[in-house]
Amino acid sequence: MSERKPAGVDFESWVDRKIREATERGEFENLPGAGKPLPGAGNPYHDEDAWLRDYLRREGVSGEAMLPPSLLLRRDVERLPGTVRELGTEAEVRAAVAELNRRIVDWLRLPTGPQIPIAPVDTEEIVAGWRSATNHTGGRPVTDARDPERPRPGVRRPWWRRLRRSG
Protein backbone atom coordinates (compact mmCIF):
# COMPACT_ATOMS: atom_id res chain seq x y z
CA MET A 1 0.00 0.00 0.00
CA SER A 2 1.28 3.45 -0.81
CA GLU A 3 2.35 5.83 1.86
CA ARG A 4 0.37 9.02 2.53
CA LYS A 5 1.87 12.47 2.09
CA PRO A 6 2.93 13.97 5.43
CA ALA A 7 0.94 17.02 6.51
CA GLY A 8 3.74 19.60 6.55
CA VAL A 9 5.42 18.61 3.26
CA ASP A 10 4.78 20.29 -0.08
CA PHE A 11 3.05 17.90 -2.51
CA GLU A 12 5.47 18.48 -5.38
CA SER A 13 8.58 17.89 -3.27
CA TRP A 14 7.01 14.76 -1.76
CA VAL A 15 6.24 13.31 -5.23
CA ASP A 16 9.72 14.21 -6.50
CA ARG A 17 11.26 12.48 -3.49
CA LYS A 18 9.18 9.33 -4.11
CA ILE A 19 10.25 9.22 -7.77
CA ARG A 20 13.90 9.75 -6.86
CA GLU A 21 13.78 6.96 -4.24
CA ALA A 22 12.11 4.55 -6.69
CA THR A 23 14.74 5.39 -9.33
CA GLU A 24 17.52 4.71 -6.83
CA ARG A 25 15.97 1.32 -5.96
CA GLY A 26 15.88 0.50 -9.71
CA GLU A 27 12.08 0.17 -9.99
CA PHE A 28 12.07 1.94 -13.38
CA GLU A 29 14.70 -0.39 -14.94
CA ASN A 30 13.77 -2.82 -17.75
CA LEU A 31 10.28 -1.44 -18.30
CA PRO A 32 8.64 -2.26 -21.66
CA GLY A 33 9.27 0.51 -24.15
CA ALA A 34 12.15 2.01 -22.16
CA GLY A 35 14.28 4.30 -24.31
CA LYS A 36 11.75 4.31 -27.16
CA PRO A 37 9.73 7.35 -28.25
CA LEU A 38 6.11 7.61 -27.21
CA PRO A 39 3.76 6.22 -29.88
CA GLY A 40 2.35 9.00 -32.04
CA ALA A 41 4.54 11.69 -30.48
CA GLY A 42 5.74 13.03 -33.85
CA ASN A 43 2.34 12.70 -35.57
CA PRO A 44 0.77 16.11 -36.28
CA TYR A 45 -2.70 14.47 -36.20
CA HIS A 46 -2.15 13.08 -32.71
CA ASP A 47 -4.50 14.90 -30.35
CA GLU A 48 -5.69 14.52 -26.80
CA ASP A 49 -8.41 12.01 -27.77
CA ALA A 50 -6.07 9.69 -29.66
CA TRP A 51 -5.79 7.39 -26.64
CA LEU A 52 -9.58 6.97 -26.65
CA ARG A 53 -9.71 6.13 -30.36
CA ASP A 54 -6.82 3.66 -29.91
CA TYR A 55 -8.55 2.04 -26.94
CA LEU A 56 -11.85 1.66 -28.82
CA ARG A 57 -10.03 0.22 -31.85
CA ARG A 58 -8.04 -2.23 -29.69
CA GLU A 59 -11.15 -3.38 -27.82
CA GLY A 60 -13.22 -3.67 -31.00
CA VAL A 61 -15.85 -1.19 -29.81
CA SER A 62 -17.47 1.26 -32.20
CA GLY A 63 -17.60 4.96 -31.43
CA GLU A 64 -21.40 4.69 -31.20
CA ALA A 65 -20.97 3.12 -27.76
CA MET A 66 -19.85 6.54 -26.55
CA LEU A 67 -22.97 8.36 -27.75
CA PRO A 68 -25.52 9.61 -25.19
CA PRO A 69 -28.83 7.71 -25.01
CA SER A 70 -30.85 10.45 -26.74
CA LEU A 71 -28.63 10.35 -29.83
CA LEU A 72 -28.71 6.54 -29.90
CA LEU A 73 -32.51 6.64 -29.79
CA ARG A 74 -32.67 9.24 -32.57
CA ARG A 75 -30.34 7.09 -34.68
CA ASP A 76 -32.46 3.98 -34.03
CA VAL A 77 -35.65 5.84 -35.04
CA GLU A 78 -34.01 6.95 -38.29
CA ARG A 79 -32.78 3.42 -39.05
CA LEU A 80 -36.04 1.70 -38.07
CA PRO A 81 -37.56 1.44 -41.58
CA GLY A 82 -34.43 -0.28 -42.86
CA THR A 83 -34.24 -2.50 -39.80
CA VAL A 84 -37.83 -3.75 -40.05
CA ARG A 85 -37.50 -4.27 -43.80
CA GLU A 86 -35.27 -7.26 -43.03
CA LEU A 87 -37.83 -8.85 -40.66
CA GLY A 88 -40.04 -11.67 -41.92
CA THR A 89 -43.38 -11.27 -40.15
CA GLU A 90 -45.63 -8.47 -39.05
CA ALA A 91 -45.40 -9.72 -35.45
CA GLU A 92 -41.61 -9.27 -35.54
CA VAL A 93 -42.04 -5.75 -36.92
CA ARG A 94 -44.53 -4.85 -34.20
CA ALA A 95 -42.22 -6.32 -31.54
CA ALA A 96 -39.26 -4.29 -32.84
CA VAL A 97 -41.31 -1.07 -32.83
CA ALA A 98 -42.67 -1.83 -29.35
CA GLU A 99 -39.14 -2.38 -28.02
CA LEU A 100 -37.92 0.93 -29.50
CA ASN A 101 -40.98 2.77 -28.15
CA ARG A 102 -40.34 1.26 -24.69
CA ARG A 103 -36.77 2.58 -24.76
CA ILE A 104 -38.00 6.02 -25.90
CA VAL A 105 -40.61 6.21 -23.13
CA ASP A 106 -38.01 5.14 -20.55
CA TRP A 107 -35.71 7.93 -21.73
CA LEU A 108 -38.55 10.48 -21.72
CA ARG A 109 -39.34 9.61 -18.10
CA LEU A 110 -35.77 10.24 -16.98
CA PRO A 111 -33.84 12.04 -19.75
CA THR A 112 -30.05 12.06 -19.63
CA GLY A 113 -27.61 13.69 -21.99
CA PRO A 114 -28.55 16.30 -24.57
CA GLN A 115 -32.25 17.12 -24.70
CA ILE A 116 -33.17 16.10 -28.23
CA PRO A 117 -36.84 16.12 -29.24
CA ILE A 118 -37.88 12.52 -29.72
CA ALA A 119 -41.28 10.85 -29.53
CA PRO A 120 -42.54 7.27 -29.73
CA VAL A 121 -42.88 5.89 -33.24
CA ASP A 122 -46.28 5.21 -34.83
CA THR A 123 -46.50 1.42 -35.06
CA GLU A 124 -49.19 1.36 -37.75
CA GLU A 125 -47.19 3.70 -39.97
CA ILE A 126 -44.09 1.50 -39.68
CA VAL A 127 -46.12 -1.67 -40.38
CA ALA A 128 -47.70 -0.02 -43.44
CA GLY A 129 -44.25 1.00 -44.68
CA TRP A 130 -42.97 -2.53 -44.09
CA ARG A 131 -45.90 -4.00 -46.07
CA SER A 132 -45.33 -1.65 -48.99
CA ALA A 133 -41.54 -2.15 -48.99
CA THR A 134 -41.55 -5.97 -49.00
CA ASN A 135 -43.15 -8.41 -51.36
CA HIS A 136 -44.02 -11.17 -48.89
CA THR A 137 -42.72 -13.88 -51.25
CA GLY A 138 -39.07 -13.58 -50.39
CA GLY A 139 -38.80 -10.58 -48.09
CA ARG A 140 -36.86 -8.60 -50.69
CA PRO A 141 -37.59 -4.90 -50.99
CA VAL A 142 -39.76 -3.60 -53.78
CA THR A 143 -38.49 -0.56 -55.67
CA ASP A 144 -39.78 2.51 -53.90
CA ALA A 145 -40.97 5.29 -56.24
CA ARG A 146 -42.20 7.61 -53.47
CA ASP A 147 -41.80 11.35 -53.55
CA PRO A 148 -38.31 12.15 -52.13
CA GLU A 149 -39.81 15.10 -50.19
CA ARG A 150 -42.14 12.71 -48.35
CA PRO A 151 -40.58 11.47 -45.11
CA ARG A 152 -39.88 7.82 -44.42
CA PRO A 153 -42.47 6.01 -42.31
CA GLY A 154 -41.91 6.57 -38.61
CA VAL A 155 -39.67 9.60 -39.13
CA ARG A 156 -41.25 12.97 -38.49
CA ARG A 157 -40.43 15.85 -40.75
CA PRO A 158 -38.87 18.92 -39.14
CA TRP A 159 -41.38 21.55 -38.10
CA TRP A 160 -40.27 23.99 -40.80
CA ARG A 161 -41.02 21.48 -43.56
CA ARG A 162 -44.44 20.71 -42.08
CA LEU A 163 -45.24 24.44 -42.10
CA ARG A 164 -44.03 24.85 -45.69
CA ARG A 165 -46.27 22.05 -46.97
CA SER A 166 -49.34 23.19 -45.10
CA GLY A 167 -49.04 26.80 -46.27
Inside any domain, residue 118: yes
Inside any domain, residue 104: yes
Find the range with the poorest average confidence among 3-7, 15-19, 44-48, 151-155: 151-155
The residue ranking higher by pLDDT, 63 or 116, is: 116
The pLDDT value given to residue 35: 81
Inside any domain, residue 45: no
Cβ atoms of 158 and 115 closer than 8 Å: no
**Count of CB atoms situated within 10 Å of the CB of 103:** 15
Work out how many domains the chain is built from and give that number: 1
Inside any domain, residue 48: no
Its pTM stands at 0.52
Inside any domain, residue 32: no
**Residue ranges making up the domain that contains 88:** 67-142
Find the range with the poorest average confidence among 101-105, 139-143, 149-153: 139-143
The pLDDT value given to residue 158: 66
From the number of C-beta atoms within 10 Å of its C-beta (0-12, 13-18, 19+), residue 24 rates as exposed
Inside any domain, residue 107: yes
The residue ranking higher by pLDDT, 73 or 160, is: 73
The pLDDT value given to residue 137: 39
Count, in order, helices (H) and strands (E) of the chain.
6, 0
The pLDDT value given to residue 11: 66
Inside any domain, residue 49: no
The pLDDT value given to residue 93: 93
Find the range with the poorest average confidence among 9-18, 80-89, 100-109, 155-164: 155-164
Inside any domain, residue 38: no
